[in-house]
Amino acid sequence: MMVNIQRLCQRAKIASRSLALLDSRTKDKALVSMASALVKNTAYIIGENDKDISSAKRLKPSNALIDRLMLNPSRIKSMADSLLEVSMLKDPVGEVIETIKRPNGLLTKKIRVPIGVILIIYESRPNVTSDC
């Protein structure tokens, strides 16, 4: 299992280098496409989620844990809406946030850059990806 996680992380790091070069329009289009796919596939997602819930119930978890795991049309719409909200934000990548001229004449700039790879621990909440 650990080898698979390491392999996934390595692949994510490689992919992040290409993604970092994407323009704002492409990133926004991807977010809108993800939101659309969530809405379009709501029935399928709920069906698969039902399998997860059935499997989880065999372990006799708390009702709160089952509630966090459960998806419904409203929660899926909320996930899609979160992605659409992000797509409407101004892309900060490339923004110069500070310029300093050093005493020796050297000009330095603080520029916003892509954050890179983030590991998300789901803890039975399938909406974490769109929340993040």
10-residue averages of pLDDT along the chain (132 residues): 82 91 95 97 97 92 90 96 96 96 96 87 80 80
- 44 touches 101 (CB < 8 A): no
DSSP 8-state symbol, 21: T
Per-residue pLDDT, 104: 97
Tokens (6 digits) for 95: 């923004």
Q: How far apart are CA 34 and CA 120, in angstroms?
A: 18
pTM above 0.95, yes or no: no
Per-residue pLDDT, 1: 59
Tokens (6 digits) for 74: 């409203």
* DSSP string across 48-104: HHHHHHHHHHTT---HHHHHHH---HHHHHHHHHHHHHHHHSPP-TT-EEEEEE-TT
